[in-house]
Amino acid sequence: MIDVTAEPGRLILRYRRTSGDDDWEEASHPVYLTTTPCHMGGARHWFRCPVAGCDRRVAVLYGRVVFTCRTCRELAYPSQRESTLDRITRRNNHIRRKLGWPVGISNGNNLGKPKGMHWRTYERLCHEHDRLMQQILSGLVTDLERLTGRKFQPGPERV
């Protein structure tokens, strides 16, 4: 549980922490606040990262021993940990959702235009989908070749 005391321009965070099997100890950290004006009036409140030399203006602080910004904590967004193939697949699934198609490369394509969508938009999305599918399949073949140590040659088309 965290006890928060508000003072002008800062918050004092008081909490108990432990590391592994160590005893609990009391911790108290000031977190300074800042504001920026909003376009339509009023102000937006921000935390200042308490790490020396950082002082970033952030909306969220992440706690452990000390509450810090995600940069100081060296946290990454899920999309920053994605491989190129994962990123292309995510983009392709986004297009499939727009088209009302089930996500996933094994669920077919050209499953019809959603009602109300302009034909030009539909054709543009289908073209982008097909381009991304080609990249995904090429990436899968490359990964398979790397894993198996074999080179795959395109075979004759089967009907």
Written as tens digits, the pLDDT of the chain (159 aa) is: 788 999 999 999 888 877 677 788 888 888 999 999 999 999 999 999 988 889 899 999 988 778 889 998 888 888 888 899 999 999 999 999 999 999 988 887 778 899 999 999 999 999 999 999 999 999 999 888 989 888 877 666 655
pLDDT tens figures, 59-98:
999 887 788 899 988 888 888 888 999 999 999 999 999 9
DSSP track, 29-73: EEEEEEEEE-TTSSEEEEEE--STTT--EES--B-SSS-B-TTTT
Contact 47, 58 (CB under 8 A): yes
100 token code pair? 């009302």
Structure tokens at 13: 């965070």
d(CA 81, CA 42): 37
User: Hey, what amino acid is at 84?
Assistant: T
What does the pLDDT read at residue 159? 52
Q: Which positions ≥6 away from 75 have C-beta within 8 Å?
A: 62
Query: How many C-alpha atoms does 27 have within 13 Å on its Cβ side?
Result: 19
Cβ proximity of 45 and 60 under 8 Å: no
* Domain residue ranges of the chain, discontinuous segments joined by +: 2-58, 79-148
